[in-house]
Amino acid sequence: MNKDIATPLRTRAILEKYGFSFKKSLGQNFLIDTNILKNIVDHAGLTDNTGVIEIGPGIGALTEQLARNSKKVVALEIDQRLLPILKDTLGPYPNTKIIHGDVLKADVSKIINEEFAGINDITVVANLPYYVTTPIIMKLLEEHLPIRGIVVMLQKEVADRISANPGSKDYGSLSIAVQYYTEAETVMIVPKTVFVPQPNVDSAVIRLTKRDKPAVSVIEEEFFFLVTRASFAQRRKTILNNLTSQLPNGKEMKDEIVATLHEADIDPGRRGETLSIEEFAHLSNLLYPLFR
């Protein structure tokens, strides 16, 4: 059994060996607690037949745990300086492959087809860089990839927003967008003390299990998301004010929007955060013919 990468001592030794310095712009925070990594892996429900996509492997601390518990791990790393380190640390794991690239620009569907031929159980597991968490999650969901789900570590406040329910201060268009595609649950809280360098905030691990079909039925997905984003544009404003100021030609269409809200049985004086995903779906389906 190879020595774990994720110990303070071994991490320091690897960083010193390669003279590696952290880049703030890439949101690099490496985990130095093996138990937490093993917990993340447990929550991902891996088997000998699972293919794993990892984003931002760093020096391979999580990658190593994933490799021990799955059939194959393909990790995308944007920082070229980490490639020789990963070649070294992941040497003992022939079932790992590192691809140098930015996940936001990568053709993930193509990677899945090429790297996971014959593997039907595919999941994403990652310790995401804070500054691009939301765009990465939305890309993975919007591209309708053949994945079972996503287990990621991210800023606790973003995890709170993703798993929030109507009526709470954290509930917003991100909650709706993610819950439209998946069932979201926060599975563990991770203190900032187990990272090097230490971030300013605590983290959380969230598990997103892909739904067989979206949570609600909408005529046009893009328009549904436009309506939800518009409804939360200014949280203190009523849904009527937000929709008239944010939708294209909304001001000229105010009377039609009022009538549609009444038709949807939604009081125009309510705020976006009080509406359930079902109400948003019903409303966007009624508004769609007016704005297409």
Residues 242 and 177 both lie in one domain: no
Residues 228 and 206 both lie in one domain: no
Contact 32, 194 (CB under 8 A): yes
The tokens describing 132, both together, are: 């691009």
If DSSP codes are grouped into helix, strand and coil, which group holds residue 280? helix
Residues 186 and 56 both lie in one domain: yes
29 appears as a binding residue in the annotation? yes
Q: Is 3 within a domain?
A: no
Residues 236 and 284 both lie in one domain: yes
Q: Is 1 within a domain?
A: no
Residues 12 and 145 both lie in one domain: yes
Q: Domain boundary at 210, 231, 255, which?
A: 210
Residues 194 and 252 both lie in one domain: no
Contact 255, 261 (CB under 8 A): no
Residues 151 and 235 both lie in one domain: no
Cα–Cα distances in Å, from 10 out to 31, 60, 82, 92, 111? 11, 12, 16, 16, 31
Q: Is 94 within a domain?
A: yes
Residues 130 and 241 both lie in one domain: no
Cα–Cα distance measured from residue 220 to residue 211, given in angstroms and rounded to the nearest whole number: 18
Residues 227 and 202 both lie in one domain: no
Residues 190 and 69 both lie in one domain: yes
Cα–Cα distances in Å, from 28 out to 2, 79, 102, 142, 275? 24, 10, 14, 26, 37
Q: Domain boundary at 190, 210, 230, which?
A: 210
Per residue in 73-100, is it b (16+ CB within 10 Å) or e — as a string?
A: bbbbbbbeebeebbeebbeebeebebee
Q: Is 97 within a domain?
A: yes
Among 180, 281, 277, residue whose Cα is nearest residue 223? 281
Number of domains into which the chain is organized: 2
Contact 280, 228 (CB under 8 A): yes
DSSP string, 148-212: SEEEEEEEHHHHHHHT--TTSTT-SHHHHHHHHHEEEEEEEEE-GGGEESPPSS-EEEEEEEEPS
- Contacts for 212 with CB less than 8 Å, ≥ 6 apart: none
Helices 239-246 + 254-263 axis angle, to 10: 140
CB neighbours (10 Å) of residue 180?
Answer: 20
58 appears as a binding residue in the annotation? no
127 appears as a binding residue in the annotation? yes
Q: Is 215 within a domain?
A: no
Q: Is 2 within a domain?
A: no
Give the domain extent around 37.
8-210
Residues 186 and 269 both lie in one domain: no
Length of the chain: 292
Cα–Cα distance measured from residue 154 to residue 206, given in angstroms and rounded to the nearest whole number: 8
Q: Is 203 within a domain?
A: yes
Among 229, 207, 228, 244, residue whose Cα is nearest residue 284? 228
Residues 156 and 31 both lie in one domain: yes
Q: Domain boundary at 210, 232, 253, which?
A: 210
Domain containing residue 51: CATH number = 3.40.50.150
Global confidence as pTM: 0.92
- Contacts for 144 with CB less than 8 Å, ≥ 6 apart: none
77 appears as a binding residue in the annotation? yes
Tens digits of pLDDT across the chain (292 residues): 678 999 999 999 999 999 888 777 676 788 889 999 999 999 999 999 999 999 999 999 999 999 999 999 999 999 999 999 999 999 999 999 999 999 999 999 999 999 999 999 999 999 988 878 999 999 999 999 999 999 999 999 999 999 999 999 999 999 999 999 999 999 999 999 998 888 888 999 999 999 999 999 999 999 999 999 999 999 899 999 999 999 999 999 999 999 999 999 999 999 999 999 999 999 999 999 999 8
Domain containing residue 241: CATH number = 1.10.8.100
